[in-house]
Each structure stands twice: as structure tokens, then as C-alpha cells.
Structure 1
Amino acid sequence: MEIGSELLGVTEWLPATVPGGVHDDLYRSGWIEHPWFEQNSLACEWVENRWWVYRATIDEIQLGENESAELVFEGIDYEALIYVNDQLLGEHKGMFHEAVFDISGRCRSEGPLVLSVIVKHAPDEMAQIGRTSETHTQKSRFNYKWDFSTRLVNIGIWGDVYVRIADSCTLEDIHVIAEPAPDAAQGIVRVSAAIRNAAIKEEETTARYERLSLHVQVFDPEGNECACNHVDVSAAGHTELELEVAKPGLWFPNGYGEQPLYKVTVQIRDGERCLDKQSLLTGFRTLRYERNEGSPQEALPYTFVVNGVKVYIQGVNLTPLDHLYGNVLPEQYAYMVEMMKRGGVNMVRVWGGGLIEKEEFYDLCDRNGIMIWQEFIQSSSGVDNMPSKQPEYLRLLKLSAVSALKRKRSHVSLTVWSGGNELMEAPNKPCTYEDENIAMLKELVERYDPQRLFLPTSASGPVEFITREKGVSHDVHGFWKYQGNPDHYSLYGDADHLFHSEFGVDGLSSAKSIRKFVGADNQSPASMKDNLVWRHHGEWWDTLERDEALFGSMKTLESFSDASQWMQAEGLRFILEANRRRQFRNSGSMIWQLNEPYPNISCTSLIDYYGEAKMAYYWMRQAFLPAAASLDYRKLDYGIGEVLDAPVFVVGRGGAQTAVLAEAYGSDGQLRWSKTFHSGLDEEGRSRQAGRLHLPITEELRGLFMIRLTLSQSGNGHASDGSQADYFFSAGRDGEEPVYAGAVSLRGAVLQVSGVGRWEPEEPAELAINASGTATLGLSSLRRSYIVENTGQALALHVRCEETTNGYWLAASEQFFTLLPGERKEVEVSCFRKKCGGLLAEDKSAASLPPDLIFRCFGQDTDGYEERERHSINEKEGAKVHV
């Protein structure tokens, strides 16, 4: 108005990635320093407070007589004005529902179109320390600062943008349900769809179409048509159709069976002419919910029953994969789901402070048997936790909830909806269905996805947090730190909660990861009370005081990381085993958290930002084995002359007879005691006590000693499916000597490592599903086995390998295992070539090199290696590396 020309802006026009976000584009163009290094994110907070303009040209589109063109934005973050040829097309607010604009007339009259999207500054929303009752947006809140993330408020276009060209008669809101008949001899596929007609007048519709019909085909996992049907339909409205499939394969959660997927193709036809066609994948399964065994009548149903089989929940909580979630690539989702599957996980909770994730994630969960607990976008705060009742907020919440319900309900992996994270009507008192906000969401679930359970919130109460009080804990959260020796063991070992949907223990990232984002001056062990850089990367999760009390003074970054990860693994494993010992009185455990969206020095994550799995991940996998033995102990330290008296339990399905070999070893690795217990497995998987360990603590065990439980089903004394658990204690410590001082002073382990053959390519893992319902492939990986032997004279504690080139994610058949003197293991290593978006793309510095592995055990710093050989694809078979 004042000068008659367009403002030039703060920057020149910069290349933009869509989907993506402004921060990554600015970093690529040199406008900001790398946000993750030390405290650089503080200097990036101006970005969220500016308005940003995206611009692109849409080439000329030729439309047929009956065709229309719609401009579709799958995700704008957060509020935008959309212009075509400098004319306002419309406005949009909200991350989780599409923005759709008809541009048919412009395509016919204006030729190429210049599209401009003005993204307004990010709204001022609540961080973790805030008031949930004052939340007013449907924007992902973790961006504003959470315990596992910094403040870096994403802004930009985080979803796909495209022009959708279609006949004026199109399909919408397709919903597929596939269930087997009670005898499983046939399956029923129920398809519903809405038909939208862009014609303005009914007489135009009648003249334009001769005979409209809805056609549905079902294809089995091999691609063969196994059912088809059609029905005549009107030009607009809602239509339903059923099909029968003979002897369908049943979809089961990970660990309970296979995951066969059937492609369902839906078409709207005019005679023989296809007007619109959409495909998706589904699976045949029944799903119901039962109250836990022995639970109060007023308790909600927390036991999930799939195809008539009770499923014990072995779960994790998922945060967004990155602060810059628009830049996350399908391969990153694929790696996380692969690690869930390998870890024995069968359910993931998509946390309400994060995202309604992209379709690739749900597709991958369908393929890998990972049941999904999906929360709507609401979360607790540090000041109050009452769900917002503001009218504009409820309007936005309804828009995103309906969008999520319609888009996700056909996924066979989707198992339960939740109103959000830790929503409370009063301190420690979770919200119920009576809350106005929750009641609205409950009605929406009943309308759009009535087959699935809706829980009011997680935890759903009647008390929020785990407690020693009996009879009040149903679904609870907490805690998130190791509770100390012996308090940790009495709290969780004696608990009576029905379900444990969130809990964790904190631990450091690997030294390898920490060195990527912390400068040399800050790479020594530090307290977050004293070091601002460390505080910036994990203030809540300072473990120095805890770990020095248990291990002694921390001298190096490696030793600190080793000790911290050990206690995270120890604390989490005990909780998992204690919960599983009450299987079906307790219906499951969901660890907080699988991943982190930001590089933390310390956090409750099992896998750090760079994809490095911590010790806790592998001890979780041990606890989640289909059949396992566990020791129910109550402390870590014993005096000489005491007796370690603890029951031994077995858990697993199927009724097989098992033997549990219990052995006690001194720190020199010499066997001091052994006993074998026998027990059958319960048919449905309930835990059974196999016997009781009664171990006198003698001088031979002074210092560090280990109890090993080896479960076998063949009677040969060898572990079944890797079921071997090692527990570590101290005996006869003096005064204030740390519990695990014996581990720190342990010397004498020597690892001898031999590569078996060469690196061989693995079959690519199935990655995602394209628009036609066909699987695409990804996660290019190499696999190789190694023989690892302890040729020394002491226990080799927590042996693991590390990939050093940064070009690969690593997964191994075993990690963080202990070797006795003379003992050897064969370890199969898979290295997945990294393909990352956003700032993680920097972590591919050696992507063209073959994997390079280092093997080490507890207390060995990588800087101390005197001899190493790099492994390459062309190395001679049988080459060795001495570590």
C-alpha cells in the first residue's frame, strides 16, 4: 500500500526442501550454525518468530472436460496464507489435517501457476512446563522444549504437496475391515466409501454418467485375486460392500505369528470406464479387550486379545524421530520399526505431545506386527494437566482427530486410541470419559472407528503414578529414574498395577555419539549442575551422582557412558521382568522411550538420536524373549555369610517343559555354585516359579559376582533362542565402597575376534507402500558373523561392537553380553546403510566405505586400543582383529 512493491525480505530466495522445514533450509544456505552443536540452538530461536514465504511454479495442466484439479497440502506447520498468481486462494491453520483448494478454473484459464505460501510465525504455545488448560493449538508441543528436546519450534511445510487431478466423481473416506469367521474357514472384508461428485446440479450428474458402480477386488499376499464384488451406486453418498475370502491367513502381532497382508482395490466406474481407483493393504484379525485377571470390576480392559489369543504387551513409547520432522525419510522410520521387531516389541504408543505420524510408519507397523496405540495431540504440562476447553481449541482438535481417524482406521496394526498423554482433572487423578474434551473424542471414535477401544488418557488411572499403596493402581506411569539400591527393587518387585504404559530409566548416549555434538573442551564427565553445555543436552537426566555412588569417580567419557548405560539397563530390565512375572494380572509394559528427536548427552531413550542402540535396548530384548527365565532379587550387595535367597521364574507360551540352569561365578569367571530347576511353560504365557535360588555368600564370591540363568527346552543345558540372563552383585564390600567397584577394578579379560566370511548383502527390508498398494524396498544392509572369544583370566563384561564410519546403523544378534574365560559366542551383525533427512544427513560422512567395527567390553576405552584391523568387503576370509 505504501510503496507499491513487494518487500525484498531478510534473505534472498533460498532452495527449499518440501516436505521439510525452514531450519534445515537455512542451515544448508549458511544462515544458521548447526543447531545441535553445543548451545547453538539458542541462536536459532529467531527463526520461529519470522514469517516465511515458499514459492514454486506449477507447470501448465491440461484438464479433460470432466476433470477437476485440487491443490493438496498434507501438512502445513502451522498457519499459512496460500496464493496463486498473487491472488489469495485461502488460509489454513493446523498441522494434522489437509488443506485442499480447487484450482480447476485457474488451470483452464491461467496457464502456469505461481504458487506462494506465506507461513506465519509459530504460535506461542505451551512447553512442557506450562498449563495444558491454556493450550490453544494443534501444534506438536515437544518443539517448545521438553525433557528430551531443546526449544526449536519447527515451521514450514512438513507434508507432501501435490495437485490431485480426478474425474468429478471420486472416492473418499475409504474404510476397510477384514475379519475371519469364528472357524477361520473364511474371512469377511467390509468396505465402505463415500462418493463425492463435483457436479453442481443433479441434472448435470444424470447426463454425465450412464451407470455408476463401486467395484472392489481383494488380492492375497502373492498378488492373486481372491475375491471381487460390485454394487450399483448413486452419483453421491455413502456405500458399503462385503466380500468373502476363503481360508485367509491371519495377522498376528510380532512374536505371535505372521503378518500376511491383502491388497484391497476400490474403484468407482461409469460402465467400464474407471473414474477413480484407490488401493490399500489390510490384514485379517479379530480384536477384543478384556479386563485383567483378578482386576476390579470398575477397571478398564487392558488385556488385548488378537484372534482369540491373549497378547502380553511388550511395548515402547515413540517420540517424533526428529525436531525437524518434515525432513524425516522413510528409511528412518524403517530402521526404527526394524529395531522394534528385533527387540521383541509388539506395541508402540505414539505419544500425544508429538505427531500423528506419516503413513510410512503405519504401513511398516502393519508389515512387522507392531500394534499401535495412537494418542490424539494433547499432553500434560508442569503446572496443570487439565485438557483445554477453549472453543477454538476444541474445533481444531476435532478437525485433527477426524482426519486421523479416517486416515488411520484401516491399518490392521492400529489397536487402541487415547485422548492424550497424562491428562488429569486433579493432581495424580487422570481424566475420565466425563471430561468435556475427552467425551468429544470418545464420540468421534465411536462414530468413525467403533471397533476399537478408546482410553480417556494414558495413564488412565484411577491414580496417575505408580505407588506402594495397594489396590489403587490400574494403568499407571512412572518412574523415570533408577530408584536406588534397594528401593528400586522393592517398589517395582512388589507393585500390583494392572498396566504400565509409561516408565523409564535414564542413561548416557555412547561416547561416539556425544563427541558429534559436544566440543573437545566439554568431553569429560560432568554434572549438569556445573556444565551448561551438558545441561543444554539433557538437564533432567543428570546421572553423575547416581553413577559415582555405584561405581566410583568417573575418569573418562567412555567409562561414564559405560556405567550410566549399565544402570539404565539394570533398572529397566528389573521392571520389565517384575511386570512380566505377573503376566495377565499385569497386562504389559511400555518403556519410555524408544528414541529421541534431539542429541542428548543423557536421556531415557533406548536408541539415541544417531541410531545407536544403548545397553538397555539389548537387555530389554532379553526380557522380551518368547521364553525367558528371571531372578526376583531385592538388592545388589550382600555381606559375607549372608544368603542370596530369590525365586527363579520362567515365562513363555505353549506348555513345553523347561530346565533353568542357575550358576554363580566369581569375577575371575570361575564357577562357584550351580543348580538346575525344572518347570513347564503355561499354555497362555503366565509366569511360573521354577524354584528358589539359595546361594550362601562366601569369600570365593568377594567383590563382583555374577548369577547366570540359562533356560533350555531341550534339556541340553544350552540357551533356547538366546535366553541367557546375567545378574551382577557385590559381596563383602567395605564401608562406603561403591557397589560395583569390583567391576571398575576388574582386569584380565582379553577379546579375540574372528570374522566369518565376508560382508554379504541382506535381502532388503520392506519399507513402505505406494499409492497402488505395492511394497517398495529399502534399508540396504550388509550382514556378517564374528566369533568373539574371551582368552583372558577374568569376566569380559558387556561385550559389544561399534561401527565407526558413521555410514551405517548397526543391529546385532547379541550385544552387551558377558563372556567367561575361554567362552566364545558367534555374533551376527547387520549394518544398514544410513539414509537420513535434515540435520542427520550430516551423519553419513563415510557412506561409501564398508562397515568398520570395534569390539570392546566394559571399562575399555576406544582410545586405548593398541591393535586394530579394518574390515572391508574384500578382506581375506578368516581375518582376525585383536581387541
Structure 2
Amino acid sequence: MRERLVSGIPATVPGVVHTDLLAAGLIDDPYLATAEADQHWVGAQAWIYRAEFDLEPDAPELTHQHCDLLCDGLDTIAEVFCNGVSLGRSANMHRRNAFGADGRLRPGANQVEVVFSPVLEYTTAMAAQVGERVHVERDPYNLVRKMACNFGWDWGPRLITAGIWKTIGLRSWNKARIADVAVFATAAQNASGSWDGRLRVQVQIAGRSRFGALTVRVRRGEEYAEVGVSAVDDWAEAELSISGISPWWPHSLGEQPRYDVEITFHDEEVVLDRVQRRTGFRTVELDTTPDADGNGATFGFRLNGVQLFARGMDWIPDDCFPSRVTPQRYRERVQQAKDAGVDLLRIWGGGIYEQQGFYDACDELGVMVWQDFCLACAAYPEEEALALEIEAEARDNVVRLSAHPSLVLWNGNNECIWGFHDWHWDGQLDGKTWGAGYYYELFPRIVAELDPTRPYWPGSPSSGAGNDIHPNDMNYGCVHIWDVWNERDYTGYDDYSPRFVSEFGYQGPATWATWARTLEPADRSATSAAMLVHQKAAGGNDKLNRGIQGHLPVPGEGPDDFDEWLFAMQLQQARAVRYGIERWRSLRGRCLGSIVWQLNDCWPVTSWAALDLGTNAAGEPVARRKPLWYAVRSAYADHLVTLQHDADGWRAVLVNDGTAEWVATGSVELRTLAGDVVWSRSLARLVEVRSRTDVAITPDPTDVPAAELALVVTLDGAERAVKLLVEDVDAALPAPDYEASVTRTDAGAAVTVTARSFLRTLCLFPDRVDEDAVSDSLLVDLFPGEAHTFQVTGRFADNELAGLTARPALRSLTKPLTTSEAV
């Protein structure tokens, strides 16, 4: 290996050293088995990227007055050379750099080098300069501006990267050029009911700006609106009012029209530079109105004047090597979120400010973005060496992301304020700075200066600025609820009445198909050495085992029990999170948002994600739906019926987050598991838009044991709610009696199950037959006489179809389904 590295290997840019070593066959895939631990040496080395190229004497890079080397992302401690001369240094993964190359290029052969130093050497030097600060995980990620989870997290591996992770290239220009553009588009409804738009464009000029003027043009169909201004300083600003626009909405409220904006910089008739952006007109507000009694405050979003309940999930980097995430992959992932009813993604502060493709997908698909500044779970020094970098990256990204209508909030950090209050930092800090100046002074000042169209919030969790209220107070701001996963049963969510939950979640393992590609057969057990490499949470398996007690049969953990363990733990995850979502939505009015931790994974792992990350037969990344994804989709439906129980008894809560009133008609029944109706009442309610209605349920007394009973609410326009009166482990679940049939369809197959006995949580896992197959539904309860058809997308040989009607693909919680009937 050493000889090959000394002579050099091909590098893909954008990329990182790990991906080039992998492509060269010099390391094993760190996502597989136990290979992660064999690659820690990569992050401890210095690396050099070298590119050689020829320039003709008349090349623009030589004939124009100026030439810059534009680096959109260097990871992380880098010095850039051109023909042996240093152009500058970078110590921040999160910001763009423009290095002047005037006079450094020549006709003929040229060379650009980027030298990356080991990041842990940098953090050691920074600790000596500013002092150590408390942090989670092993390495002092809080002393360098690099993706925190790159150093390992409780769901991710320790793969310390280096490389040119975004685009790099030369740009030549004369006189002056557009260095950066900020676009702010807001919408307001006028007295006639139509919408007016206001566009404000700020342009940063590099070079001799007094020689130029700006024209800003907005395209609306075949028409243009235009305004021109002189560029008399480094920054120029133009404003434009446009009547009759169509506003941008999250998909839960409406459509997502967008408008092309063209900014032209010219000197008389000569165009010096031109930049294009796409934006949408909308107005976002963060409602923090104090309660009338002074004992709390609202926390919720208003889009174009409409208050909504945010149905969200947290987002982490979609790969440990973010350069591998393509625009198509971003769009697929955001589409998967939208398909689950999600209308907000919170970009977690331990990752990155995402790449353009992510925000483009959210703009197009109508998914709002809550953007954390990239600080997480640590004390961050405020001394100049780090503070200057943090300010530069904040300014860079606030401007870079300004045009995206999906971006609705800038948030100061993840759990840093909470950590200062509750994680015993005082003794370790000994009076040192920890980040308060960023969250309460720097970031709000930057957002107010550069992007006053969006609200800012100090942190997640936080009760706001200028008060002494605990940052995780249920009566204020946004909260994180982790006691349930860490210590309590998931029914403990009933004890919380928050205003907005920006993190809560529950672990569950990845899908079978993902484990089959990740682990050798002998390693497929809950406690194998290889499996535990892919369980990063402290005490994770112990918490899974504790949490399932009293709810579901406890599976074994050996190789022969892997199927049962996967099913039970995935089901437990789905039920726990759905229980939480339904609790928060049942509080609609007081609570205005639920963000589930988390949507996605960055590698194959047992984690809190609804979508795992594996590969297919071609080695391409695949995010497969875990049962949690289906539970989230059900719980985030526009019309929700949830059965809630408290000291006053049972109540059905009808929630309408659709765009029209809901005439909910149907029935509430007390049934035996054999399907007999013991008690019933008709139910009819008008549920107004963006509201909830509570209906008390008081069944007549019965001699039927609770272990044999279920409450069932069936309403037009909503998924049925079924609640057993005891936990499944205590219920009198009958032996399964059913018929199953399969037919081929254009998309794959249709599997119909007709119940002759009660079937609890019927699931079809088609990845057990075709690893790429997907079912349209999961987690189905069937009473005797009822049928359900699973529509499956996949490729199946004729002799494989029957496998969709039998274990391990088809199963329920009742008992293993072991027979099949194929037609």
C-alpha cells in the first residue's frame, strides 16, 4: 500500500481520501462488518491532492485581468498551492473560499496542490491556544470547524475524513465580478385577496465596482419584471415589487410555485457577470405569543399568515462521506419524507449545512427546512481563533441559502444551551467561554443583518433569549424529550405537554436486506461482535430490551433468533414513536409541532432512523423503509384519529391538519378479538381546518375480560384506530387463521390476506424475497372477515411469488404465519 500511495492514486473530486482509497482497493468498505476500526489511520495522516493542467497562451485564465481559484468545500485543514506558491489556507469545512491566483498561472503546464494536515493535530494546537472544552464522544470536534459526527456519534462511525468535498475550479474575470448574491422573496395578501411579492436582492461585488451597474430580472411566465441599480460599493441592493404572484406553500398547505431571478452585472453594454437563482415568494413567522396567564408561550410557525402544526423529522448527513450524496439522492430522500406526511426537516447541528441539491428538493417538494448552525452537544470557545471562523461560516451560509423558500428558521445550536444547564459543565469550564455569545449575540445579529425575512431561535432545545427559564421547559419554546428512550417506558410520553417537540425518538434495527448486505450470516445476531459495531448508542441493546418489557414478547438474541429480534425491535420502535406523535397531535393548540429523531441514516446501523442506509446488488446506496416509516406516515396523516386514555377515561381525538373542514362520520365500537361487537355508538363531528375535536368514550360495562377486547374507531376519510385494552403480551391473541393469495401486477405483486381470526400488526416484508422490493403498507390489524391487499413494487420470478405469502416475508405479531396459498 505504501508504495502505491507514495506514487499517487487517482482522486475523484468532489470526494474525500476514504472514497479514493476504497476505489483503489486499498481499504475495505468501512460500512461492512467490522471494517470501520481498520481505517482510523486514514484520519491521522497528511494528504496531498494534485492536479496538473495545460493552458494555451490565449486562455481566459491568462488573458483576463483576474483569476480566482474557487473552493466550495475543503475538508478541513488545508493549504492551497498554485505552481508551488501558496494561495492561502482554510480551516473550515463549512464555508466557501476564493483564493486569488493573479499572476500565478502560466502558459503550458500548471499545477494546483491542496495539502491537508491531520485534523487532530490542529485540535491539539487549538486546545493549547484556547483551552479544552467539554464535548461528547471521543475527539474534541468542538475545536475545529468540521462536521461533528465525522468523529463518531451514537448512530455513526468514527471516519475522520480529509479531501476536496465540494467543487473546485478556476474563474477568470475583467474589471469586476459578482462574488455573492442574497435573494429574499416575501409575499403578502392584499385587500382583493390576491398576492403581492417583494423581492430584495443584495449583491457582493469583487473588483472595481464603480465601473458597473446591476439589473435584476424576475421571470413570471412569459413576462419579466425588472429593476436596475448602480453598483457603487462592495455591496449593491435592489428591490422589486411584483403583483399577482402565486405564493410558495409547504405541501401540507398548497403548491410550490417558484420564480427565476437573473442578476446581470454590466459596464455600459458589456456584461461582466451574470448569476441566476430560483426562489419562491412566501412569508414566515415564528409565533411566540405569551399565554394570557403568563405561564407559558406559544411556539409555532406561520406560513403566509397561516399557523400550522409542523409534522417534522430530524435530518443527519445522508452519508458519512457527504460528497457521495448526489442531487438525485437528495430528491429521493426528501420525497420519502414527503410521502410519510413530513412537511419539515430539521438539519441537525452536528452535521453540515447541506448541499444545494437538498434545498432544491425541499423547495420543489414543499418541505420546510429548520436549519441549525453547525454546533452540537459541546462547549464552543469564543476566542478569536475559532470565533472568526464561526462568524465567517455563518455569514457565508446565511447568504448562500437565502433564495430557498423552504428555509423557515435559523437555529443557534443543538443541545449546547441544554448541556450548559444540565450536563454539569460548570466545574469543567471553570469560567471559560462556552458559546453563549454565538447563540445570543453573534448569530441573531448576523440573521438580522443578512436575512431579516427569517426568524432566529437560540437553540434546540431553548426557551428563548433574555430570560432565566430552563431551556427544556415544557411551557416554552422547543424541547427534546429523551427520558423515554433512555430511562422510561414509551407510555411516559403521556406525562409531557410540550409546546413544540424538536427531538424525540426510539431505536430500532435496520431492515433485513440491509443487514444481509452488511453482515456475514454467522454475524446476524443481536450481540455478535460485528452487529455491536453497528450499535453505537451507549447501552443501546439494554435499552431496547428494557423498553420492550410489558409490551411485546421478549425475543432471544442468538443467531437462531435474529428474525424474531428484528421484527420485535422494529415493531417496538414504530409503536413508541407513533405513540409520541399521537400524544403531541392530541395536544394540538397547545402543541404546534413534532419533529421525530430521525429520518435517515448515514450507514447500516441500529438507530432511531425511519429509513436505513444499505446497498443493492450493484453497490448503489438504498434507503429502505423500516416499520417506523409506515408508523410515521399513519401518525402524520392530514386526518388523524387517536385513542387517548387518562384519569377521566378514554377519548377519541380527531385532528384535522388538512386544507378543508372534515365531516367525520362513523362509529366507535368495543369489539372482542373474535370480531363480536360488545358496544357501539355512531359518531359524527365537524372538525374545522387546523383544529382538533375530543370525543369522550364511555362503553357500557361488560363481562368480557379486557384481554379479549379492543376499542375501534372507524371514520370516513381517516385510518381506523384500534386499541387493545391490555398490552399485546397480555392479550388473548388467537392462533392465526387466514387465507393469503398473490397475483402478479405491472409493478410487481399484490398480496391479499383474508382473516378468519384476529391478526395483530400484519406485516409484509418483501425484501425477504427481493431485496429491492417495497410494500405500500404495513402494520395492519385485521378482525375476522376482513381483508387487506399489500401492493408490492419489485421484481419476482414466478417461483418467488409464493414466498410473499409465507414467513418470513408475511407475518403478524399474533404468531408466525407459516402457511400460504398462491394463486
Which of residues 633, 658, 669 in structure 1 aligns to 2:664?
658
- Compared CA separation, residues 27 and 9, structure 1 to 2 (3 A): closer
- Compared CA separation, residues 808 and 334, structure 1 to 2 (3 A): farther
- Give how far 1:186 is off: 4.7
Q: Which residue of 2 aligns with 1:80?
A: 78
Do the aligned partners of 1:128 and 1:147 also contact (CA within 8 Å) in 2? no
Where 2:189 maps in the other structure, the secondary structure is coil
Do the aligned partners of 1:537 and 1:599 also contact (CA within 8 Å) in 2? no
- Give how far 1:364 is off: 0.8
- Give how far 1:630 is off: 0.8
Q: Which residue of 1 aligns with 2:201?
A: 192
Paired with 1:367 and 1:596, the residues of 2 have a C-alpha distance of 23
Q: Does 1:277 align with 2:241?
A: no
Do the aligned partners of 2:219 and 2:261 also contact (CA within 8 Å) in 1? yes
Q: 2:478 is matched by which residue type in structure 1?
A: D
Q: Does 1:557 align with 2:557?
A: no
- Give how far 1:787 is off: 5.5
- Compared CA separation, residues 650 and 325, structure 1 to 2 (3 A): same
Which of residues 345, 348, 359 in structure 1 aligns to 2:356?
359
Q: 1:476 is matched by which residue type in structure 2?
A: V
Q: Does 1:146 align with 2:167?
A: no
Q: Does 1:331 align with 2:328?
A: yes
- Give how far 1:301 is off: 5.6
Q: Does 1:752 align with 2:741?
A: yes
Do the aligned partners of 1:666 and 1:700 also contact (CA within 8 Å) in 2? no
- Give how far 1:302 is off: 1.8
Q: Which residue of 1 aligns with 2:238?
A: 241
Paired with 1:751 and 1:72, the residues of 2 have a C-alpha distance of 61
Do the aligned partners of 1:282 and 1:410 also contact (CA within 8 Å) in 2? yes
- Give how far 1:12 is off: 3.5
Deviating more after overlay: 513-522 vs 396-405: 513-522
Paired with 2:664 and 2:413, the residues of 1 have a C-alpha distance of 42
Deviating more after overlay: 585-594 vs 115-124: 115-124
Which of residues 613, 629, 644 in structure 2 aligns to 1:632?
644
- Give how far 1:163 is off: 2.0
Where 1:180 maps in the other structure, the secondary structure is strand
- Give how far 1:495 is off: 2.2
Report Cα offsets for 1:685-733 as digits up to 9, x if no partner.
2221133253656447645x54333221xxxxxxx1x5223334537xx
- Give how far 1:586 is off: 1.1
Q: In the TM superposition, what are the counterparts of 1:674-685 in structure 2 within 5 Å?
A: 674-683=680-689, 685=690
Do the aligned partners of 2:460 and 2:502 also contact (CA within 8 Å) in 1? yes
Q: 1:606 is matched by which residue type in structure 2?
A: A
Do the aligned partners of 2:197 and 2:245 also contact (CA within 8 Å) in 1? no
Q: 2:354 is matched by which residue type in structure 1?
A: E
- Give how far 1:316 is off: 0.8
Q: 1:259 is matched by which residue type in structure 2?
A: Q
Q: 2:245 is matched by which residue type in structure 1?
A: P
Q: Which residue of 2 aligns with 1:102?
A: 100
- Give how far 1:860 is off: 8.6
Q: In the TM superposition, what are the counterparts of 1:220-299 in structure 2 within 5 Å?
A: 220=220, 223-231=221-229, 233-234=230-231, 236-291=233-288, 294=291
Do the aligned partners of 1:138 and 1:396 also contact (CA within 8 Å) in 2? yes
Structure 1: gaps (5+ residues): 1-6, 200-204, 636-643, 713-719, 732-737, 760-783, 834-845, 868-879
Q: Does 1:649 align with 2:653?
A: yes
- Matched-pair identity in %: 23
Do the aligned partners of 2:54 and 2:107 also contact (CA within 8 Å) in 1? no
Q: Does 1:417 align with 2:410?
A: yes
Do the aligned partners of 1:622 and 1:725 also contact (CA within 8 Å) in 2? no
TM-score where L is the length of structure 1: 0.80
Q: Which residue of 1 aligns with 2:394?
A: 401
Do the aligned partners of 1:191 and 1:242 also contact (CA within 8 Å) in 2? yes
Report Cα offsets for 1:237-278 as digits up to 9, x if no partner.
332223333311111112111111111111112333322111
Where 1:508 maps in the other structure, the secondary structure is coil
Q: Does 1:790 align with 2:754?
A: yes
Do the aligned partners of 1:303 and 1:310 also contact (CA within 8 Å) in 2? yes
Q: Which residue of 2 aligns with 1:497?
A: 498
Where 1:366 maps in the other structure, the secondary structure is helix
Do the aligned partners of 1:292 and 1:498 also contact (CA within 8 Å) in 2? no
Report Cα offsets for 1:141-190 as digits up to 9, x if no partner.
11212111121112211111122233432223322222233315352332
Q: 2:35 is matched by which residue type in structure 1?
A: N
Deviating more after overlay: 517-526 vs 255-264: 517-526
Q: Does 1:449 align with 2:451?
A: yes
Where 1:135 maps in the other structure, the secondary structure is helix
Q: Which residue of 2 aligns with 1:604?
A: 608
Do the aligned partners of 1:629 and 1:709 also contact (CA within 8 Å) in 2? yes
Q: 2:629 is matched by which residue type in structure 1?
A: Y
- Give how far 1:55 is off: 1.6
Paired with 2:104 and 2:529, the residues of 1 have a C-alpha distance of 58
Q: Which residue of 1 aligns with 2:782?
A: 819
Paired with 1:497 and 1:862, the residues of 2 have a C-alpha distance of 38
Q: In the TM superposition, what are the counterparts of 1:315-394 in structure 2 within 5 Å?
A: 315-381=312-378, 386-394=379-387
- Give how far 1:853 is off: 9.1
Paired with 2:769 and 2:327, the residues of 1 have a C-alpha distance of 22
Q: Which residue of 2 aligns with 1:727?
A: 723
- Compared CA separation, residues 301 and 553, structure 1 to 2 (3 A): closer
Report Cα offsets for 1:599-649 as digits up to 9, x if no partner.
11x2111111231212222111111111111100369xxxxxxxx941111
Q: Which residue of 1 aligns with 2:764?
A: 800
Do the aligned partners of 1:314 and 1:588 also contact (CA within 8 Å) in 2? yes
Q: 2:551 is matched by which residue type in structure 1?
A: L
Q: Which residue of 2 aligns with 1:182?
A: 189
Where 1:674 maps in the other structure, the secondary structure is strand
Report Cα offsets for 1:91-143 as digits up to 9, x if no partner.
22110111222234334x33332222111112366996259999221111112
Where 1:123 maps in the other structure, the secondary structure is helix
Do the aligned partners of 2:141 and 2:151 also contact (CA within 8 Å) in 1? no
Do the aligned partners of 2:138 and 2:151 also contact (CA within 8 Å) in 1? no
- Compared CA separation, residues 173 and 28, structure 1 to 2 (3 A): closer
Paired with 2:139 and 2:768, the residues of 1 have a C-alpha distance of 43
Q: Does 1:616 align with 2:614?
A: no
Q: 1:674 is matched by which residue type in structure 2?
A: S
- Compared CA separation, residues 558 and 292, structure 1 to 2 (3 A): farther
Paired with 2:290 and 2:694, the residues of 1 have a C-alpha distance of 18
- Give how far 1:793 is off: 3.5
Q: 1:510 is matched by which residue type in structure 2?
A: T
- Give how far 1:434 is off: 10
Q: 1:60 is matched by which residue type in structure 2?
A: L
Q: Which residue of 1 aligns with 2:128?
A: none
Displaced runs of 4+ in structure 1, greater than 6 A? 131-134, 428-434, 850-853, 860-867
Do the aligned partners of 1:134 and 1:388 also contact (CA within 8 Å) in 2? no
Do the aligned partners of 1:133 and 1:387 also contact (CA within 8 Å) in 2? no
Aligned residues: 770
- Compared CA separation, residues 495 and 197, structure 1 to 2 (3 A): closer
Paired with 2:64 and 2:141, the residues of 1 have a C-alpha distance of 47
Paired with 1:676 and 1:484, the residues of 2 have a C-alpha distance of 40
- Give how far 1:493 is off: 2.2
Do the aligned partners of 2:507 and 2:608 also contact (CA within 8 Å) in 1? yes
Paired with 1:142 and 1:506, the residues of 2 have a C-alpha distance of 18
- Give how far 1:455 is off: 1.0
Do the aligned partners of 2:295 and 2:475 also contact (CA within 8 Å) in 1? no
The Cα RMSD (Å) is: 3.6
- Compared CA separation, residues 295 and 503, structure 1 to 2 (3 A): farther
Paired with 1:110 and 1:298, the residues of 2 have a C-alpha distance of 72
Q: Which residue of 2 aligns with 1:304?
A: 301
Q: In the TM superposition, what are the counterparts of 1:492-531 in structure 2 within 5 Å?
A: 492-526=493-527
Paired with 2:460 and 2:280, the residues of 1 have a C-alpha distance of 27
Paired with 2:583 and 2:289, the residues of 1 have a C-alpha distance of 16
Q: Which residue of 2 aligns with 1:877?
A: none
Higher helix share: 2
- Give how far 1:422 is off: 0.6
Paired with 1:596 and 1:258, the residues of 2 have a C-alpha distance of 29
Report Cα offsets for 1:526-555 as digits up to 9, x if no partner.
4xxx85742552343211343365333425
